[in-house]
Amino acid sequence: MHASQAETERVQGLRQAYRDQIRDIRPDDLVFLDEAGVNLMMARLYARALPGHRATGERPYKKGRNVTLVGAMSLNGMVAALTFEGGLNGDVFKYFVEQMLVPNLWVGACVVMDNLSSHGVEGV
């Protein structure tokens, strides 16, 4: 068995275990949480043009601000959201959970998130 095949089987086993773990949770009770970051000066470095024409344009040369969005949503829509300048760290994530997410949860809600290190801070 190749290492990649063994890894594929391992991941498939983990996925099945996860499906088994959440099988009895009502879809309406699932709340998915994720984050994204963007630089406000992001611009394309490449472009397309019609054959025989040159693509032209301008892009900012100054460094822009980094903005992070953290959000949680369910089948019924947004549960909580936060945008702020800078990157996500444990303190900001804990603030989001305590002050914005938890007050909007209901009995039976199940929050699903990835394993970003900020998500593992004590108290979360």
In a domain? residue 78: yes
Residue at 11 is within a domain: no
For the segment 95-105, the average pLDDT, to the nearest whole number, is: 97
C-alpha to C-alpha distance for 42 and 13, rounded to whole angstroms: 39
Model pTM?
A: 0.76
Range of the domain at 39: 25-119
- pLDDT of res. 67: 95
Give me the CATH number covering residue 56. 3.30.420.10
Please, which pLDDT band fits residue 10 given cuts at 50, 70 and 90?
very high
pLDDT of residue 2: 66
Please give the tally of structural domains in the chain. 1
pLDDT at 103: 98
Is the distance from CB of 121 to CB of 93 less than 8 angstroms? yes
Which of helix, strand or coil describes residue 69? Answer: strand
Residue 14 has pLDDT above 80, yes or no: yes
**What pLDDT score does 69 carry?**
97
| Within-domain flag for 9 | no
**Candidate from 29-43, 70-84, 98-112 with smallest mean pLDDT:** 29-43
